[in-house]
Amino acid sequence: MSIRYKMTIAYDGTEYAGWQVQPRKNTVQAEIERAIEQLTGKTIRIHHSGRTDAGVHAKGQVAHFDLETAVDPRRFMNSLNAILKPDVRIMKFQKVKADFNARYDAVSKEYRYFIWNGPAVPPELRLYRLHEKRPLDIDAMKRAAEALVGKHDFAAFTANPNREIEGTVKTVQKISVTRSREGDVTIAVVGEGFLYKMVRSIAGFLLRVGVGELEAKEAKRFLKAAERTNKVPTAKALGLFLWRVDY
């Protein structure tokens, strides 16, 4: 009887073509599976809470996989981290019930999008912040964000509505927009699940509101239209983090 293990994973997505295994491409999933195979001598497929796109980072991605024999969680985690490239790390590793599923047991996910709103991005943040020099109206961004909270058809906020087999209606539980004294602006989005590039589209829309190119009230109009518009841009990948997954 196999034993199931759960991992919480952090990674810098800069050098990866996303999370999911792809032929002839460098992906986070492939990097972790390579390390597990090197450690166990077996080819093992890991199952994730959700995919992230090329260049997107994670602080709290979750995945599970099965082993035929029990391992010491701390020792196994340390061994994996010794094999993995330094831009991928297993932050937590634990034994779970045999029926735990990283994807289907998730009750909510939080993504955070980071913007540096100032003259120059600090060098150590250059791979993890979208740079916006123009002043941002945080209050207007908050008003627009409030209009997006709830159960809506988010077709206007996905890069390809036609690929969504299960439809484009999603429930967003919370969106917050905060600004630090230094100029770091954080858009945090919590929901049960998200469409393709939905969070980056929300960030792109809120940015346009922040710089005065769109009004906050247009959020409701886009939701009602339920179709993609070029007025809702997809923000660059580098500012996005899969922050946490709750079960």
Task: Supply the residues annotated as catalytic.
Answer: 53
State the number of CA atoms in the 13 A half-sphere of 235 facing the CB.
Answer: 26
Q: Which residues contact 36 (CB under 8 A, 6 or more apart)?
A: 42, 44, 46, 65, 80
Taking a C-beta distance cutoff of 8 angstroms, is the pair 132, 211 a contact? yes
Of 113, 118, 120, give the one whose Cα is nearest residue 141: 113
Output the six-digit token pair for 106.
Answer: 């998730």
- The residues that bridge with 62 in the sheet, in sequence order, are 8
- The residues that bridge with 191 in the sheet, in sequence order, are 109, 172
The H-or-E segment that residue 11 falls in is: strand 3-11
For 24-42, give one letter per residue: b (16+ CB within 10 A) or e.
Answer: eeebbbbbbbebbeeeeee
Using CA atoms, how far apart are residues 129 and 115, in angstroms rounded to an integer? 5
State the number of CA atoms in the 13 A half-sphere of 14 facing the CB.
Answer: 9
Task: Put residue 246 in one of left, alpha, beta given phi > 0 → left and psi -120 to 50 → alpha.
Answer: beta
Using CA atoms, how far apart are residues 67 and 98, in angstroms rounded to an integer? 11
